[in-house]
A = this chain, B = another copy of it.
Amino acid sequence: MKMKKSFASDNWSGACPEIMTALSDANNGHNEAYGELDDVFTARAKQKFVENFGEGIEVFFVYNGTAANVLGVSQIINPYHAIVAAHSAHLNEDECAAPEKFIGCKILGLESPDGKIMARQIRPLLKSIGFQHHAQPKVISISQVSEMGTVYTIDEITELADFAHSNSMFLHVDGARIANAAAALNTDFKSMISDIGVDVLSFGGTKNGLMFGEAVVFLNKRLALDFEYRRKQGMQLHSKMRFIAAQFERYLTDDLWRKNAAQANYLAKHLEKEIRKIPQLEVSQDVKANGVFVCLPEKIIEKVQEKYFFHVWNASPQGKDGMKEVRLMCSWDTNTEDIDGFVELIKQVLD
Protein backbone atom coordinates (compact mmCIF):
# COMPACT_ATOMS: atom_id res chain seq x y z
CA MET A 1 0.00 0.00 0.00
CA LYS A 2 1.45 3.30 -1.11
CA MET A 3 0.45 5.98 1.38
CA LYS A 4 -1.14 9.25 0.24
CA LYS A 5 1.04 12.38 0.23
CA SER A 6 0.12 15.00 2.74
CA PHE A 7 0.87 18.63 3.47
CA ALA A 8 0.50 18.10 7.20
CA SER A 9 4.14 18.31 8.15
CA ASP A 10 7.55 17.57 6.74
CA ASN A 11 7.82 14.85 9.36
CA TRP A 12 5.07 12.84 7.69
CA SER A 13 7.58 11.95 5.00
CA GLY A 14 10.00 9.07 5.40
CA ALA A 15 13.77 8.90 5.20
CA CYS A 16 15.41 9.76 1.88
CA PRO A 17 17.16 7.00 -0.09
CA GLU A 18 20.67 8.27 0.61
CA ILE A 19 20.02 8.09 4.34
CA MET A 20 18.63 4.57 4.09
CA THR A 21 21.80 3.52 2.32
CA ALA A 22 23.95 5.16 4.97
CA LEU A 23 22.08 3.25 7.66
CA SER A 24 22.60 -0.04 5.87
CA ASP A 25 26.27 0.67 5.36
CA ALA A 26 26.71 1.48 9.02
CA ASN A 27 25.09 -1.80 10.03
CA ASN A 28 28.30 -3.68 9.67
CA GLY A 29 29.34 -5.76 12.64
CA HIS A 30 30.32 -4.45 16.02
CA ASN A 31 31.10 -0.86 16.83
CA GLU A 32 31.82 0.97 20.07
CA ALA A 33 28.61 2.15 21.73
CA TYR A 34 27.61 5.62 22.98
CA GLY A 35 29.72 7.55 20.46
CA GLU A 36 32.84 7.04 22.53
CA LEU A 37 36.28 7.73 21.13
CA ASP A 38 36.63 4.57 19.08
CA ASP A 39 33.33 5.02 17.29
CA VAL A 40 34.52 6.07 13.85
CA PHE A 41 31.04 6.96 12.65
CA THR A 42 30.68 9.61 15.32
CA ALA A 43 34.17 10.93 14.70
CA ARG A 44 33.53 11.28 10.98
CA ALA A 45 30.13 12.91 11.49
CA LYS A 46 31.61 15.43 13.89
CA GLN A 47 34.27 16.22 11.33
CA LYS A 48 31.53 16.98 8.80
CA PHE A 49 30.07 19.49 11.24
CA VAL A 50 33.46 21.15 11.56
CA GLU A 51 33.66 21.37 7.78
CA ASN A 52 30.27 23.03 7.66
CA PHE A 53 30.48 25.26 10.72
CA GLY A 54 34.19 25.93 11.13
CA GLU A 55 36.74 25.09 13.81
CA GLY A 56 36.15 25.59 17.51
CA ILE A 57 32.68 24.09 17.63
CA GLU A 58 31.45 21.09 19.58
CA VAL A 59 28.60 18.84 18.49
CA PHE A 60 26.49 16.21 20.26
CA PHE A 61 23.80 13.95 18.89
CA VAL A 62 20.43 13.53 20.56
CA TYR A 63 17.19 11.88 19.52
CA ASN A 64 14.85 14.70 18.61
CA GLY A 65 14.26 18.41 18.35
CA THR A 66 12.57 18.75 21.72
CA ALA A 67 15.73 17.44 23.33
CA ALA A 68 18.08 19.47 21.18
CA ASN A 69 16.27 22.64 22.17
CA VAL A 70 15.84 21.84 25.84
CA LEU A 71 19.27 20.34 26.51
CA GLY A 72 21.05 22.95 24.43
CA VAL A 73 19.44 25.79 26.33
CA SER A 74 19.77 24.06 29.71
CA GLN A 75 23.51 24.11 29.16
CA ILE A 76 23.73 27.90 29.06
CA ILE A 77 21.21 29.05 31.65
CA ASN A 78 20.29 28.39 35.26
CA PRO A 79 16.76 27.57 36.46
CA TYR A 80 16.16 31.13 37.65
CA HIS A 81 16.77 32.47 34.18
CA ALA A 82 14.19 33.16 31.49
CA ILE A 83 14.14 32.26 27.82
CA VAL A 84 12.86 35.01 25.53
CA ALA A 85 11.11 33.66 22.44
CA ALA A 86 8.21 34.26 20.11
CA HIS A 87 4.98 33.22 21.75
CA SER A 88 4.47 30.86 18.81
CA ALA A 89 7.93 29.30 19.22
CA HIS A 90 7.91 25.53 19.30
CA LEU A 91 9.92 25.75 22.53
CA ASN A 92 7.10 27.73 24.12
CA GLU A 93 3.96 26.23 22.69
CA ASP A 94 4.64 22.76 21.41
CA GLU A 95 6.90 20.95 23.83
CA CYS A 96 4.31 20.21 26.52
CA ALA A 97 6.34 22.31 28.97
CA ALA A 98 9.50 20.26 28.51
CA PRO A 99 11.75 23.32 29.03
CA GLU A 100 9.97 24.22 32.25
CA LYS A 101 10.27 20.65 33.48
CA PHE A 102 13.86 19.97 32.58
CA ILE A 103 15.38 23.41 33.05
CA GLY A 104 12.94 24.80 35.62
CA CYS A 105 12.98 28.18 33.93
CA LYS A 106 10.35 30.56 32.63
CA ILE A 107 9.69 31.36 28.98
CA LEU A 108 8.77 34.94 28.16
CA GLY A 109 6.66 34.84 25.00
CA LEU A 110 6.61 37.80 22.62
CA GLU A 111 3.83 38.54 20.20
CA SER A 112 4.98 37.89 16.68
CA PRO A 113 2.49 37.74 13.81
CA ASP A 114 5.16 36.55 11.36
CA GLY A 115 6.95 34.25 13.79
CA LYS A 116 10.03 36.46 14.06
CA ILE A 117 11.11 38.59 17.01
CA MET A 118 13.17 41.75 17.09
CA ALA A 119 15.56 43.27 19.61
CA ARG A 120 13.27 46.21 20.28
CA GLN A 121 10.63 43.80 21.62
CA ILE A 122 13.12 42.31 24.03
CA ARG A 123 14.49 45.54 25.47
CA PRO A 124 11.53 46.18 27.84
CA LEU A 125 12.08 42.77 29.45
CA LEU A 126 15.55 43.81 30.58
CA LYS A 127 14.04 45.91 33.35
CA SER A 128 13.66 42.64 35.28
CA ILE A 129 17.41 42.19 35.45
CA GLY A 130 18.60 42.56 39.01
CA PHE A 131 15.09 42.32 40.48
CA GLN A 132 15.17 39.19 42.59
CA HIS A 133 11.46 38.43 42.24
CA HIS A 134 11.65 38.02 38.47
CA ALA A 135 13.18 35.26 36.39
CA GLN A 136 16.25 36.80 34.73
CA PRO A 137 16.23 36.97 30.91
CA LYS A 138 19.36 35.12 29.77
CA VAL A 139 18.82 33.58 26.37
CA ILE A 140 17.01 34.62 23.22
CA SER A 141 15.69 31.70 21.24
CA ILE A 142 14.62 32.08 17.63
CA SER A 143 13.35 29.52 15.14
CA GLN A 144 15.02 29.53 11.75
CA VAL A 145 12.79 28.81 9.69
CA SER A 146 10.19 30.39 11.98
CA GLU A 147 6.95 28.64 12.91
CA MET A 148 5.16 30.87 10.37
CA GLY A 149 7.37 29.80 7.50
CA THR A 150 9.32 33.06 7.46
CA VAL A 151 13.10 33.29 7.50
CA TYR A 152 15.39 35.64 9.42
CA THR A 153 17.93 37.40 7.23
CA ILE A 154 21.57 37.15 8.21
CA ASP A 155 21.42 40.79 9.25
CA GLU A 156 18.48 40.14 11.53
CA ILE A 157 20.22 37.25 13.25
CA THR A 158 23.36 39.34 13.60
CA GLU A 159 21.40 42.10 15.25
CA LEU A 160 19.85 39.66 17.74
CA ALA A 161 23.22 38.10 18.53
CA ASP A 162 24.75 41.51 19.12
CA PHE A 163 21.83 42.57 21.28
CA ALA A 164 22.10 39.38 23.30
CA HIS A 165 25.81 39.65 23.87
CA SER A 166 25.73 43.32 24.75
CA ASN A 167 23.24 42.41 27.48
CA SER A 168 25.10 39.36 28.82
CA MET A 169 22.66 37.05 27.12
CA PHE A 170 23.01 34.20 24.64
CA LEU A 171 21.40 33.50 21.28
CA HIS A 172 19.95 30.05 20.64
CA VAL A 173 18.60 28.98 17.26
CA ASP A 174 15.98 26.27 16.94
CA GLY A 175 17.04 24.89 13.58
CA ALA A 176 14.48 22.17 13.09
CA ARG A 177 14.32 23.50 9.51
CA ILE A 178 17.74 25.11 9.36
CA ALA A 179 18.49 23.48 6.01
CA ASN A 180 15.41 25.03 4.48
CA ALA A 181 16.50 28.42 5.76
CA ALA A 182 20.03 28.11 4.40
CA ALA A 183 18.66 26.96 1.07
CA ALA A 184 16.17 29.83 1.02
CA LEU A 185 18.87 32.40 1.75
CA ASN A 186 21.21 30.64 -0.65
CA THR A 187 23.87 30.64 1.99
CA ASP A 188 25.79 28.13 4.13
CA PHE A 189 25.70 27.30 7.84
CA LYS A 190 28.95 29.04 8.61
CA SER A 191 27.73 32.37 7.25
CA MET A 192 24.25 32.08 8.71
CA ILE A 193 25.23 30.74 12.14
CA SER A 194 28.89 30.53 13.16
CA ASP A 195 30.21 33.78 11.77
CA ILE A 196 27.55 36.06 13.21
CA GLY A 197 27.51 35.08 16.85
CA VAL A 198 24.94 32.35 17.39
CA ASP A 199 25.86 30.53 20.60
CA VAL A 200 23.92 27.29 20.42
CA LEU A 201 22.08 25.68 17.53
CA SER A 202 19.59 22.84 17.44
CA PHE A 203 20.48 21.33 14.09
CA GLY A 204 17.55 19.39 12.73
CA GLY A 205 17.55 16.60 10.23
CA THR A 206 14.44 14.53 10.77
CA LYS A 207 12.18 17.02 8.97
CA ASN A 208 14.49 16.95 5.95
CA GLY A 209 15.02 13.28 5.21
CA LEU A 210 16.56 11.64 8.29
CA MET A 211 14.95 8.73 10.12
CA PHE A 212 15.75 10.03 13.61
CA GLY A 213 18.36 12.13 15.36
CA GLU A 214 19.15 15.76 15.88
CA ALA A 215 22.36 17.60 16.78
CA VAL A 216 23.19 20.20 19.40
CA VAL A 217 25.92 22.45 18.05
CA PHE A 218 27.85 24.70 20.41
CA LEU A 219 29.48 27.32 18.24
CA ASN A 220 31.84 28.04 21.08
CA LYS A 221 33.48 24.96 22.55
CA ARG A 222 33.64 26.49 26.04
CA LEU A 223 29.86 26.40 26.28
CA ALA A 224 29.89 22.64 25.78
CA LEU A 225 31.68 21.74 29.01
CA ASP A 226 30.18 18.63 30.64
CA PHE A 227 27.40 18.40 28.08
CA GLU A 228 27.89 14.64 27.82
CA TYR A 229 26.56 14.23 31.36
CA ARG A 230 23.64 16.50 30.72
CA ARG A 231 22.72 14.49 27.64
CA LYS A 232 22.88 11.22 29.52
CA GLN A 233 20.88 12.61 32.43
CA GLY A 234 18.47 14.06 29.87
CA MET A 235 17.82 10.50 28.63
CA GLN A 236 19.21 11.31 25.19
CA LEU A 237 22.32 9.18 24.88
CA HIS A 238 21.84 6.58 22.18
CA SER A 239 23.73 3.34 22.67
CA LYS A 240 23.98 2.46 18.99
CA MET A 241 25.15 5.97 18.26
CA ARG A 242 26.61 5.09 14.88
CA PHE A 243 23.09 5.04 13.47
CA ILE A 244 22.59 8.70 14.21
CA ALA A 245 26.13 9.63 13.29
CA ALA A 246 26.03 7.82 9.95
CA GLN A 247 22.91 9.71 8.96
CA PHE A 248 24.47 13.07 9.73
CA GLU A 249 27.71 12.18 8.01
CA ARG A 250 25.78 11.46 4.84
CA TYR A 251 23.45 14.43 5.31
CA LEU A 252 26.41 16.80 5.37
CA THR A 253 28.13 15.15 2.42
CA ASP A 254 27.64 16.43 -1.13
CA ASP A 255 25.13 18.95 0.25
CA LEU A 256 22.40 16.35 0.57
CA TRP A 257 20.79 18.66 3.12
CA ARG A 258 20.59 21.39 0.50
CA LYS A 259 19.24 19.13 -2.22
CA ASN A 260 16.39 17.95 0.01
CA ALA A 261 15.62 21.40 1.38
CA ALA A 262 15.74 23.10 -1.99
CA GLN A 263 13.25 20.61 -3.37
CA ALA A 264 10.82 21.29 -0.53
CA ASN A 265 11.29 25.05 -0.82
CA TYR A 266 10.85 24.99 -4.57
CA LEU A 267 7.58 23.12 -4.33
CA ALA A 268 6.31 25.51 -1.67
CA LYS A 269 6.98 28.41 -4.02
CA HIS A 270 5.22 26.55 -6.78
CA LEU A 271 2.27 25.88 -4.49
CA GLU A 272 2.13 29.54 -3.48
CA LYS A 273 2.08 30.65 -7.10
CA GLU A 274 -0.77 28.32 -7.95
CA ILE A 275 -2.75 29.35 -4.91
CA ARG A 276 -2.38 33.04 -5.69
CA LYS A 277 -4.16 32.33 -8.97
CA ILE A 278 -7.30 31.26 -7.08
CA PRO A 279 -9.15 34.44 -6.12
CA GLN A 280 -11.06 32.93 -3.16
CA LEU A 281 -7.83 32.05 -1.33
CA GLU A 282 -5.42 34.31 0.50
CA VAL A 283 -1.76 33.58 1.20
CA SER A 284 -1.27 34.85 4.75
CA GLN A 285 2.48 34.72 5.32
CA ASP A 286 5.55 35.39 3.25
CA VAL A 287 6.53 32.10 1.66
CA LYS A 288 10.27 31.85 2.20
CA ALA A 289 10.94 28.20 2.86
CA ASN A 290 8.85 25.02 2.70
CA GLY A 291 5.64 26.14 4.40
CA VAL A 292 2.69 27.93 2.86
CA PHE A 293 0.11 29.56 5.12
CA VAL A 294 -3.21 30.11 3.38
CA CYS A 295 -6.68 31.25 4.36
CA LEU A 296 -9.28 28.85 3.04
CA PRO A 297 -13.05 29.05 3.14
CA GLU A 298 -14.14 26.83 6.01
CA LYS A 299 -16.55 24.76 3.96
CA ILE A 300 -13.87 23.28 1.67
CA ILE A 301 -11.37 22.30 4.34
CA GLU A 302 -12.66 18.90 5.31
CA LYS A 303 -13.25 17.84 1.76
CA VAL A 304 -9.71 18.63 0.71
CA GLN A 305 -8.28 17.04 3.88
CA GLU A 306 -9.84 13.75 2.92
CA LYS A 307 -7.36 13.37 0.09
CA TYR A 308 -4.46 15.55 1.20
CA PHE A 309 -4.20 16.00 4.93
CA PHE A 310 -3.05 19.31 6.41
CA HIS A 311 -3.48 21.14 9.72
CA VAL A 312 -5.74 24.11 10.44
CA TRP A 313 -3.35 26.61 12.00
CA ASN A 314 -5.78 29.22 13.16
CA ALA A 315 -9.42 28.34 13.53
CA SER A 316 -10.52 31.89 14.30
CA PRO A 317 -12.14 33.65 11.36
CA GLN A 318 -9.51 35.31 9.16
CA GLY A 319 -9.63 37.85 6.38
CA LYS A 320 -12.60 39.24 4.62
CA ASP A 321 -14.83 36.17 4.53
CA GLY A 322 -14.21 34.50 7.86
CA MET A 323 -11.82 32.00 6.40
CA LYS A 324 -9.53 29.72 8.39
CA GLU A 325 -5.77 29.78 8.14
CA VAL A 326 -4.18 26.46 7.28
CA ARG A 327 -0.57 25.38 7.02
CA LEU A 328 0.68 23.48 4.00
CA MET A 329 4.13 21.94 4.38
CA CYS A 330 6.23 20.64 1.56
CA SER A 331 8.82 17.96 2.15
CA TRP A 332 11.96 16.60 0.51
CA ASP A 333 9.75 14.15 -1.37
CA THR A 334 6.97 16.49 -2.46
CA ASN A 335 6.77 16.72 -6.22
CA THR A 336 5.01 18.71 -8.90
CA GLU A 337 2.25 16.18 -9.31
CA ASP A 338 1.43 16.44 -5.62
CA ILE A 339 1.03 20.20 -5.94
CA ASP A 340 -0.95 20.02 -9.12
CA GLY A 341 -3.29 17.36 -7.78
CA PHE A 342 -3.84 19.32 -4.62
CA VAL A 343 -4.55 22.61 -6.41
CA GLU A 344 -6.83 20.87 -8.85
CA LEU A 345 -8.82 19.39 -5.99
CA ILE A 346 -9.20 22.78 -4.32
CA LYS A 347 -10.52 24.24 -7.56
CA GLN A 348 -13.02 21.41 -7.95
CA VAL A 349 -14.26 21.70 -4.41
CA LEU A 350 -14.58 25.47 -4.67
CA ASP A 351 -16.86 25.20 -7.67
Contact = CB atoms under 8 A, between A and B. Distances in A.
B97 A64 contact: no
A30 B20 CA distance: 16
A94 B80 CA distance: 12
A243 interface: yes
A93 interface: yes
A299 interface: no
A327 to B, nearest CB: 14
A320 interface: no
A331 B232 CA distance: 23
A14 to B, nearest CB: 4
A102 B28 CA distance: 35
B96 A135 contact: yes
Nearest to A133: B94
A15 interface: yes
Find the residue from A226, A232, A235, A309 having the highest chain B CB count within 10 A. Answer: A235
A23 B228 CA distance: 29
Nearest to A36: B132
How many copies make up the complex?
A: 4
- The majority secondary structure among interface residues of chain A is loop
B101 A97 contact: no
Contact of A226 (B78, B233, B236, B239): B78
A206 to B, nearest CB: 6
A93 B134 contact: yes
Interface of A: 1-6, 8-9, 11-15, 20, 23-24, 26-34, 63-67, 70-71, 78-80, 82, 93-98, 100-102, 104-107, 127, 132-136, 206-207, 211-212, 226, 228-240, 242-243, 309, 315, 331, 333
16 contacts: A3-B29, A6-B30, A8-B30, A11-B33, A11-B240, A80-B226, A80-B229, A96-B135, A96-B229, A98-B233, A101-B234, A104-B233, A135-B229, A211-B240, A211-B243, A235-B236
